C-alpha cells in the first residue's frame, strides 16, 4: 500500500543521503524512484524548472499545496534566502509524517511548516494562524480537482498580490483542465506553459506558471 512505499522512500533517504545536505536528499529520492519504486514527486526534470522559477522569484513567503514526502518542499527550501519560509499543506497524515522526517534529514525544519488538513479549510485561516499577509509563490501539487477552487479561495482571502507567481504541477498528467482554462483565459493572470515529462517517465506533462496581475 501507499504507506509502506513512502516508508521505504524515507529509509532510502536515511541510508543514502547525508544528514543536513538537502541536495543529497533530493538525489537519493530521485535515484530510489528511478531504480526501485515510482513515486509522485515532481522529480528531477520538472524539478529543474521549479528550481529556476524559485531562483527567479526569490520568494520570502511560499505556499505549497500537497507536501507528499517533502521532495519539492526540500527542493524549494534549499534555494530560499535565510529568513524565507514555506508553509506546506498535506491532507494525508501518513504522507505528512514521512515528509516531516525527510525535511528533518535535510536540516530544513526552520524554514518549513508542515500543516495537516484540507487545503480548503486552512487557506482561509492563513492570515490569523500564521501571520501571512500575501504569498510570493504558490506551488500547486495536491489533488488536481482542488487547484481551481483553492486558487479562487486564495484570491478571495486576499492572499495573492500583484506579481504573485502560481506554479502548478501535472497540468497535463493527470491533468487539471478546469484550472488551465481559468488561468489561461482570466484577465487577472498571465500564464506560460513549461513542457516536460511526468516524473521518472517519458509521458508528457508540464508546469504552468501564472502571474497574478491583481
Residue 176 near Mg ion by CB under 5 A: no
Among residues 54, 9, 66, 4, which one has the least CA distance to residue 36? 9
Dihedral class, residue 70 (left if φ above 0, else alpha if ψ from -120 to 50, else beta): left
Report whether 196 contacts 48 (CB < 8 A).
no
- CB-side exposure of 135: number of CA atoms within 13 Å? 28
The cell numbers describing 84, all together, are 524565507
169 is catalytic: yes
Q: How many residues bind ligand 77P (CB under 6 A)?
A: 14
Residue 170 near ligand 77P by CB under 6 A: yes
Residue 199 Cβ, how far from ligand 77P at the closest point, in Å? 6
144 is catalytic: yes
Which position among 90, 169, 205, 208 is part of the footprint of Mg ion (CB under 5 A)?
169
Site of interaction with ligand 77P (CB under 6 A): 40, 66, 68, 91-92, 141-143, 169-170, 173-174, 198-199
Annotated catalytic sites, by residue?
141, 144, 169-170, 199
Residues in touch with Mg ion (CB under 5 A) = 141, 169-170
Amino acid at each position: 500500500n501507499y504507506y509502506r512505499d513512502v516508508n521505504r522512500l524515507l529509509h532510502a533517504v536515511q541510508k543514502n543521503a547525508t544528514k543536513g545536505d538537502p541536495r543529497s536528499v533530493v538525489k537519493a529520492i530521485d535515484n530510489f524512484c528511478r531504480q526501485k519504486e515510482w513515486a509522485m514527486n515532481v522529480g528531477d526534470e520538472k524539478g529543474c524548472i521549479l528550481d529556476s522559477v524559485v531562483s527567479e522569484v526569490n520568494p520570502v513567503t511560499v505556499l505549497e499545496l500537497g507536501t507528499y514526502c517533502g521532495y519539492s518542499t526540500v527542493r524549494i527550501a534549499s534555494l530560499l534566502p535565510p529568513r524565507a519560509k514555506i508553509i506546506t499543506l498535506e491532507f494525508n497524515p501518513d504522507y505528512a509524517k514521512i515528509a516531516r522526517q525527510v525535511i528533518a534529514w535535510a536540516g530544513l525544519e526552520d524554514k518549513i511548516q508542515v500543516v495537516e488538513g484540507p487545503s480548503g479549510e486552512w487557506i482561509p485561516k492563513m492570515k490569523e494562524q500564521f501571520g501571512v499577509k500575501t504569498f510570493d509563490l504558490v506551488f500547486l501539487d495536491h489533488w488536481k480537482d482542488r487547484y481551481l477552487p483553492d486558487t479562487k479561495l486564495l484570491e478571495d482571502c486576499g492572499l495573492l498580490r500583484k506579481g504573485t507567481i502560481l506554479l502548478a504541477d501535472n497540468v497535463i498528467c493527470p491533468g487539471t483542465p478546469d484550472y488551465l482554462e481559468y488561468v489561461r483565459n482570466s484577465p487577472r493572470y498571465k500564464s506560460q506553459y513549461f513542457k516536460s515529462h511526468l516524473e521518472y517517465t517519458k509521458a508528457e506533462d508540464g508546469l504552468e506558471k501564472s502571474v497574478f496581475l491583481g
